[in-house]
Structure 1
Amino acid sequence: TVFADVDVEKVYISEPDYAAAAEAITQFDSKITKVNHGDTVNIYGAPYVFNVVSAHTEGSLMITDTTHGALFTGDTF
């Protein structure tokens, strides 16, 4: 598979991108959390807000670290 040598702890993906990438990422199914626009997820005790911004892909995410006032965009975080 494409990600044969990739070791990940957790995957956060928007619903639209999950639908588009489902076949390629099936090996991560047990590690995937699908997020929707406006969802807040606590990661290692810190809240992160996920917003779908439809940029590079229909489900591109903008992730806000509300604790530190940081903003992450792009395909990886």
Structure 2
Amino acid sequence: MTITTLTSREFNQDTSRAKKAAKKGPVFITDRGRPAHVLLSIEEYQRLKNKGRSIVDMLAMPPGTEDVELEIPPRRDLARSADFD
């Protein structure tokens, strides 16, 4: 995968170059020196989109761990005052 970086001006002046570069990897388009946009091929975009998971999926316990029990013992020690000497 090749990563290409173009300024906004370069992108506006030569979009065909950007499209060709997007076939090889992401094209970062900068605005005032900072990345502002990313151009991807439709295939890469769809691959990334289909890879995404919902927040529910991300927070769910992995398969096979449903029966794991976690016991957290209560804390018995009390807070102590700070000694600043």
Same fold (TM over 0.5): no
1 or 2, which has the higher strand percentage?
1
TM-score (norm: length of structure 1): 0.34
Q: Which has the higher helix share?
A: 2
TM-score, L = length of structure 2 = 0.32
Higher Cα radius of gyration? 2
